Structure formats: C-alpha cells, structure tokens
A and B are shown apart, each in its own frame.
Chain A
Amino acid sequence: KQEVTQIPAALSVPEGENLVLNCSFTDSAIYNLQWFRQDPGKGLTSLLLIQSSQREQTSGRLNASLDKSSGRSTLYIAASQPGDSATYLCAAPNGNTGKLIFGQGTTLQVKP
C-alpha cells in the first residue's frame, strides 16, 4: 500500500528565499504525482502534476521534480513571497486504483 511522507511538517522563511519541500513515497510504480496548495479553511488548488514519464514540471516560480527510482519528489519555490504562505500537499496514487494517498503536508510561512 502506498504511503506518502512530507518533510518538514512546517517551515518558516523570510521573504525572497528559495526553498524546497520534500515528498517521499513507498510504491514507485506510480503513473503520476501531484502537488497541491491548501489555504486555511479552503479546498485544494492543484499546482503541478508530473506524469511518470516526466522528470519535472514548472509553473512560474514553482518547479516540481520526480525521481521514481528513489521514491522522491521535490517542490522548489523560487523567490518566496508572503502570499505563498499555505499548506502544501503532495499526493501519489495507490497502484492503479486511481486512489490518491496524501502526505501530511508542509505548512509554509513566508515572513515579510
């Protein structure tokens, strides 16, 4: 059964810093991996989806990488801004069931 772990659980950085969020998964036979953002009390915003055949995806200041062999994905945020403060979740599918297994999330605070 797929298990997803995210570290760190919380992160506080000054504005402008580049940062990396980590996600690891136990079953490397995934067909994709997704990163989401969740603001307090709100739903999920999909940030990036990486297909299994891809190594990375970029959207603006965000770059997500995928290394299936090591069971890891990273989300790189460049030039962080206070508006980036949120909880970031990664999710990997459990086999070919379509079921997504979510990590516990990394709560990011970017201080002005």
Chain B
Amino acid sequence: GAVVSQHPSWVICKSGTSVKIECRSLDFQATTMFWYRQFPKQSLMLMATSNEGSKATYEQGVEKDKFLINHASLTLSTLTVTSAHPEDSSFYICSASIGTVDTQYFGPGTRLTVL
C-alpha cells in the first residue's frame, strides 16, 4: 500500500515551453502533497506544500508564478513549470501524506531537462 506515482518519469523540452508533472496517490487519499527539487549531487529541497482544495504554500525563494501547483483532488497534484529555462533542469520529486504531519510517501521522481 501507500504507492505514489509520478508522470512523466523524464521529460526533455525546449527553453520557453511549459511542462506539467503529475503526482498521484494510487491507494490512499492524500490531503497534503509536497513538491521537492533535487539538483545534481545535492539533497532534496522542499519547493511547496499543497493541501487539497487550497492554494499551495511556497518556500522562500521559489517563484509561485513560475511553478504552478494544483491539488484539485485527494489523489492528484500537478506541478507546472512555466516558461522553463535550462536552470530549471532538475529532478522533481513529490510526496503525499494523509494528513500534514503524517508519514510522507514519495514518488519515483521526474527528471526535467530543458534545452
């Protein structure tokens, strides 16, 4: 149980385009989903926290207009990287939890490469 999927697993896009990444909790309802970013040889850094039906809360230094997060249902959250640039190339990982302070279950990650 407690499986989280991400789609796509990898994506290559041209600079200036937008990319949408999906995070799904397959066998439980996730009130809260988190989005992390991991640059090469670095650890995970939290980008934002999203609660179903509410606006996402972004961490300091993360542009909310560039990284659009939608959590419209208890099983799906999406992260859209708008007008992507090469510096946005990274590994994006989501996690989902039943409640805000419950155990987080992590997705397999999405590798974004912006040319």
Q: A residues touching B (Cβ–Cβ < 8 Å)? A: 31-32, 36, 41-44, 46, 49, 89, 91, 93, 96-105
Contact = CB atoms under 8 A, between A and B. Distances in A.
A101 B43 CA distance: 10
Given A43-B109, A49-B103, A104 B42 contact: yes
B54 to A, nearest CB: 14
A103 B43 CA distance: 7
Given A98-B49, A99-B34, A99-B49, 16 more contacts: A42-B108, A42-B109, A43-B106, A43-B108, A89-B44, A97-B49, A97-B100, A97-B101, A98-B32, A98-B100, A98-B104, A100-B46, A100-B95, A102-B43, A104-B42, A104-B43
A97 B101 CA distance: 7
A102 B109 contact: no
Nearest to B95: A100
8 contacts: A31-B101, A36-B106, A42-B108, A44-B106, A97-B49, A98-B32, A98-B34, A98-B104
Contacts of A42: 108-109
Nearest to A100: B104
In order of increasing CB-CB distance, the 7 nearest A-B pairs are A98-B100, A43-B108, A43-B109, A102-B43, A44-B106, A102-B44, A98-B101
Contact of B34 (A44, A46, A89, A100): A100
A10 B104 CA distance: 26
Contacts, number: 51
Interface of B: 32, 34, 42-46, 49, 93, 95, 97, 99-109, 111
Contacts of A103: 43
B9 to A, nearest CB: 9
Contacts of B109: 42-44
Nearest to B4: A43
B49 A43 contact: no
B64 to A, nearest CB: 16
B27 to A, nearest CB: 16
A103 to B, nearest CB: 6
A102 B111 CA distance: 19
